[in-house]
Amino acid sequence: MSGSAPSTTWRDWLLSDRPQSATQARLGQAWLSWRAFRRNRLAMLGLGLILLLLIVAALAPWISPYEPNVQNLRLRLQPPSAAHWLGTDELGRDILSRIIHGSRITLYIVTLVVVIAAPLGLLIGTVSGYFGGWIDAVLMRVTDIFLAFPRLILALAFVAALGPGIENAVIAIAITAWPTYARVARAETLTLRRSDFIAAARIQGTGSLRIIGRHIMPLCLPSVIVRITLDMAGIILTAAGLGFLGLGAQPPAPEWGAMISTGRAYLLDQWWVATMPGIAICLVSLGFNLLGDGLRDLLDPKRRGG
């Protein structure tokens, strides 16, 4: 080795023992994490499914072969064919196009639920864990009440009270989703609140709310994020369940659960009407679960195998 040849490939640059800058070292670490993640075949499959969902949802108007809501009663209940890859439903609408457009609704629900439930759970959990005492007791009993009901039942009750529709379904699911995040965040906060760096922040004169927001929440985020990814499948299933019962998205919106519900009537003779959206729900839930498992293994050093 002459030592004069500079590292030529980007991989050598990333894995260099003597990084020239902090950025290079950080990128190198990210690359190593990515390699560990890539070894996990199932997690990669999950990631692939979720990426596919994102791409399909982003490009829905351009890749769907037909308009999702245009009816053609002459072509109703056609089996899968070259013209309609996944067949048509009882109003002659192309099922593939409806599933493609339905991915947007699914993503919309999941995203909104997470945006509402995660900060709420994080806030309640960290406040509860940090202050302890009666604040903790009150907040955790409220959490217990929410956890005591099966999620779908509770969501049903809320939608029934609020009225059917996507927005109300989102609110109902969010209301039922936050307690688990609060639990996770509280557990994490309990291990952190007696730590020296929190004491140091208090010595600096930092107030309690600022300590929670700036010093504790960022440390709780990783476990809450993993919890969320694992929860996504449950959220999708709850949303589909509400749609199936007619309490979520309203017709003619191509929501997957609602599609299964209408296909139910033809299940024996025209199986594809209900089965195709069912497969879509199944694949997306599976994707989120596999991705969540992979992320947990990656972010939790205790589970990292040798």
Which residues bind to other proteins, rule: CB under 8 A?
22, 133, 194-207, 210, 214-215, 218-219
Query: Looking at beta carbons only, is 160 or 200 nearer to other proteins?
Result: 200
Cα angle 65-71-75, degrees, rounded to a multiple of 5? 80
Closest contact distance (angstroms) between CB of 215 and other proteins is: 5
Closest contact distance (angstroms) between CB of 49 and other proteins is: 31
From CA 144, how far away is CA 236, in angstroms rounded? 23
Query: Looking at beta carbons only, is 29 or 81 nearer to other proteins?
Result: 29
Closest contact distance (angstroms) between CB of 125 and other proteins is: 17
Closest contact distance (angstroms) between CB of 236 and other proteins is: 31
Judge contact between 263 and 89, C-beta under 8 A.
yes
Query: Looking at beta carbons only, is 3 or 218 nearer to other proteins?
Result: 218
Closest contact distance (angstroms) between CB of 83 and other proteins is: 55
Query: Looking at beta carbons only, is 172 or 198 nearer to other proteins?
Result: 198
Closest contact distance (angstroms) between CB of 189 and other proteins is: 14
Closest contact distance (angstroms) between CB of 14 and other proteins is: 18
Query: Looking at beta carbons only, is 219 or 230 nearer to other proteins?
Result: 219
Query: Looking at beta carbons only, is 37 or 131 nearer to other proteins?
Result: 131
Query: Looking at beta carbons only, is 34 or 197 nearer to other proteins?
Result: 197
User: Which residues on neighbouring strands pair with residue 88, listed in sequence order?
Assistant: 94
